[in-house]
Amino acid sequence: MSISFDGKVAIVTGAGGGLGRAYALELARRGAKVVVNDLGGARDGTGHSDAALKVVEEIKAAGGEAMSNGGSVTEYAQMVEMVAKAKEAWGGVHILINNAGVLRDKSFAKMEPEDFRFVVDVHLNGSANCTKAVWETMREQNYGRILMTASSTGLYGNFGQANYGAAKLGLAGLTKTLYLEGAKYNIRVNTIAPTAGTRMTEDIFPGDAFKLFAPEAVAPAALFLVSEDAPTNMIVGAGAGVFQAAYVTLTQGKRLQGEELSPEGVAAHWAEIIDRTGEMTPQSGAEQAMSIMKLLQG
């Protein structure tokens, strides 16, 4: 089965290089009209460049349709304007890949509050801004595919990235509510946790690994997750051609009563509380409450 994006309009943020560029090029190659958004700054979020224009030129040279946008994801009004221009030119917006991001890595002891706030603002609030800007359009047209970009740092932690990790796990949480709210409007929302050799990670990977972890080896997952037959509410890890699924799970748990309903009781039954036998994957927050009710009735 061939996956095509003919007739679809896609917005990719942070698409001036790295993963975003790979996504934009492949979406265009498969028929999508693409808004290439990139502020074009350095990886710490400072400065500007014409990176988006260069990607648009690549797409057009290959016979595709694209427009550049230099708006900042942290400015909601600029994202609304970006969506309006896409709709004016092409009639709608069907796909949004929230990829824009920055790094300001330091241990938490040395991290300034501004560095924490800025990274959360770009990744988490920026993705919310872009998503809000397209949300009503997707509801009206009864079609939308949205991809958030999380990270293994958000899912599992990484030294020196408290700001980045907080933002990235926040994005996975945003997905888990938006997939519920978008379901009846045929809006599917997923999360990708990519591992790629890009400008943001070039000093982390040794040379040979940097090539293996090319952005192009992540793009297949991203495009599947915004395709017509995409799943929804998935967290997908991707890197070097390896694709994985991550889940937020819940153990069956243990009910404590009487004298055991105490810190000492929790300590005494800790092994049962964390026993992963029969572990579940709730599809909404309500399912956790339901699992508690089940124990109360049992």
In this predicted structure, what is the pLDDT of residue 51?
92
CA 77 to CA 73: how far, in whole Å? 9
Q: Give the pTM.
A: 0.94
Residues in the chain with pLDDT < 70? 41-49, 197-210
Write down the pLDDT at residue 75: 97
d(CA 90, CA 119) in angstroms, rounded, equals 32
CB-CB contact of 31 with 5 (8 Å): yes
Which residue is associated with the tokens 């595919």? 145
Residues labelled as active-site residues: 164
Count CB atoms within 10 A of the CB of residue 219.
21
Among candidates 18, 10, 212, 184, which has minimal Cα distance to 100?
18
Of the candidates 119, 125, 124, 101, which has an alpha carbon nearest to the alpha carbon of residue 18? 101
Phi-psi region of 236 (alpha: psi -120 to 50; beta: other; left: phi over 0): beta
DSSP 215: G
The reported pLDDT for the residue numbered 50 is 87
In angstroms, rounded to a whole number, what is the distance separating the alpha carbons of residues 181 and 179? 6
Dist CA 36 CA 220 (whole Å)? 18
Contact (Cβ atoms closer than 8 angstroms) between residue 30 and residue 224 = no
Q: What is the pLDDT of residue 211?
A: 75
Two structure tokens written together for 120: 């959360």
Total count of residues recorded for the chain? 298
Distances, alpha carbon 189 to alpha carbons 40, 76, 152, 224, 254, in Å: 26, 20, 19, 12, 33
Q: Six-digit token pair at 40?
A: 């074009």
Q: What is the pLDDT of residue 1?
A: 79
**pLDDT tens readout for residues 32-76:** 999 999 987 556 555 546 899 999 999 999 999 999 999 999 999
Helix (H) or strand (E) holding 264: helix 263-268
What is the per-residue pLDDT for 40? 74
Separation CA 113–CA 128 (nearest Å): 21
Q: Residue 39 and residue 48: Cα distance in Å, rounded? A: 6
Helix axes 162-182, 126-141, angle to 10 degrees: 10
Residue whose C-alpha is closest to residue 129's, from 77, 94, 180: 77
